[in-house]
């Protein structure tokens, strides 16, 4: 058995095998266990392989020294072992975002999030350790199956509570919540687009319109300012708001995987949910009613001065940004893991059609004018 003092001094683990029952006992007492209960053994099961790209996720099955009604399992999240990916996440300020969220914001957040029992990170080593409550064996749906419209509507109207709570709040100005698009530089963005453009021909789905849009955007990418102007309104956004990062427990939404939480336009979460979950024809037929429902939910939560017309304008811009993001994801999704190939095909097929339906090409061609405006604003605000 490993020495407890050594493990406590370390606090952050590179491998799940380093986590010792004695260390777990010390950490979990007071938050999960009574002082008389000890963890005797645990078994780690990798439950995150193939479903995420920012880290490793394990379920620790626990056995205690005496009978107890304490949970028989917990979730442990560790940093990725892919050094190239870790360097990219660090450059984008994303490596420790989930840890910071659970340390600083989770307890105050008004929507359901998993309970955190332990959070620590080591910036120098690039390691993170998060211990969370286990929500159970969630039956996550296949990504290529459309989200039921009523579920999509419920999710969007629930996320409005998060957005309203942090609406133009000073807390979201913290440096660690800087949008990942304002870190890393435009040369890195251009390189990611180049990689995605090289990958697109081998996907096996029709995406010529999307590729043509991305080629236009790629030409202008280096001219974009490294730091985009602050959003107005700005709020806390989940950043990866889709059906497999949430569950409904007794009718209430529980939202997890806060790995790319940031400040930004509230509509980004809404677009992410709609584009990732709905077939293009369903989205086109229902987007107005979904956005109106979201707008009413904001008003119900106390948001004022954000009209529906402004929301619709922000929605179109968020469509463009999300289309770029989804295309770049071609290089982030592992084609070889179970479901990876099908996920990519579904994502790009839907994005290609949504881009057509919402005239993303027209917006892409306006980039030179948009860049000029951004640079003028940056000069005025410097």
Would you state the pLDDT for residue 223?
Answer: 86
- Asked if residue 161 lies in contact with residue 111, where contact means CB atoms within 8 angstroms, the answer is yes
pLDDT at 338: 60
pTM: 0.91
* 226 and 96 within one domain: no
**pLDDT, tens digit (0-9, with 9 covering 90-100), for 304-327:** 999 999 999 999 999 999 999 999
In this prediction, residue 150 carries a pLDDT of 95
Instruction: Give SS3 for 3.
Output: coil
* Domain contains 183: yes
What is the predicted pLDDT for the residue at 92?
82
Mean pLDDT in order along the chain per 10 residues (382 residues):
44 93 92 91 83 78 93 94 83 89 95 95 92 82 83 96 98 93 84 93 93 96 82 94 90 92 97 96 98 98 97 95 90 63 88 97 90 66 56
- H/E element, 349: helix 340-357
Query: What would the DSSP string read from start to end of 266-333?
Result: THHHHHHHHHHHS-HHHHHHHHHHHHHHHHHHHHHTT--S--HHHHHHHHHHHHHHHHHHHHHGGGTS
CATH of the domain at 17: 3.30.200.20
Total domains in the chain come to 2
Same domain, 274 and 217: yes
Separation of alpha carbons 221 and 246, rounded Å: 33
pLDDT of residue 10: 57
The residues near 321 (Cβ < 8 Å, ≥ 6 apart) are 181, 268
202 located within any domain: yes
Q: What distance in Å separates the CA atoms of residue 251 and residue 139, rounded to the nearest whole number?
A: 16
**pLDDT for the residue 297:** 98
Domain shared by 17 and 165, yes or no: no
Q: What is the pLDDT of residue 71?
A: 92
**Is 99 part of any domain?**
yes
Q: Do the beta carbons of residue 56 and residue 78 sit within 8 Å? A: yes
Supply the range of the domain harboring residue 27. Answer: 4-133
């Amino acid at each position: 058995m490993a020495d407890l003092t050594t493990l406590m001094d370390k606090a952050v683990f590179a491998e799940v095998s380093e986590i010792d029952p004695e260390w777990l006992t010390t950490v979990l007492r007071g938050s999960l266990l009574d002082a008389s209960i000890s963890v005797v053994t645990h078994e780690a099961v990798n439950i995150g392989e193939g479903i995420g790209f920012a880290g490793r996720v394990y379920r620790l099955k626990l056995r205690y020294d005496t009978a107890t009604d304490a949970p028989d399992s917990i979730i442990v999240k560790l940093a990725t072992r892919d050094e190239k990916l870790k360097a990219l996440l660090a450059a984008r300020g994303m490596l420790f975002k989930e840890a910071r969220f659970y340390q600083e914001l989770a307890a105050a957040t008004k929507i359901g999030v998993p309970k955190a029992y332990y959070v620590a990170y080591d910036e120098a080593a690039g390691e993170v350790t998060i211990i969370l409550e286990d929500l159970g064996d969630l039956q996550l749906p296949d990504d290529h199956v459309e989200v039921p419209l009523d579920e999509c509507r419920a999710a969007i109207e629930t996320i409005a509570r998060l957005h309203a709570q942090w609406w133009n709040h000073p807390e979201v100005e913290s440096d660690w919540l800087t949008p990942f698009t304002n870190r890393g530089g435009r040369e890195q963005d251009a390189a990611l687009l180049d990689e995605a453009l090289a990958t697109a021909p081998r996907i096996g789905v029709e995406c010529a319109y999307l590729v043509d849009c991305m080629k236009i955007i790629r030409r202008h990418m280096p001219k974009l300012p490294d730091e985009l102007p602050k959003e107005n309104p700005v709020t806390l956004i989940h950043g990866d708001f889709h059906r497999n990062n949430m569950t409904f427990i007794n009718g209430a939404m529980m939202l997890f995987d806060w790995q790319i939480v940031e400040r930004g336009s509230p509509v980004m979460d809404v677009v992410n949910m709609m584009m990732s979950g709905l077939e293009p024809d369903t989205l086109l037929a229902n987007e107005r009613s979904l956005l109106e429902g979201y707008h009413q939910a904001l008003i119900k939560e106390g948001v004022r001065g954000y009209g529906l017309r402004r929301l619709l304008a922000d929605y179109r811009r968020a469509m463009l940004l999300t289309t770029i993001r989804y295309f770049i994801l071609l290089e982030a999704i592992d084609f070889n893991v179970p479901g990876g190939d099908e996920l990519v095909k579904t994502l790009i097929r839907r994005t290609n059609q949504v881009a057509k339906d919402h005239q993303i090409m027209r917006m892409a061609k306006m980039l030179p004018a948009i860049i000029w405006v951004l640079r003028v604003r940056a000069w005025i605000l410097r």
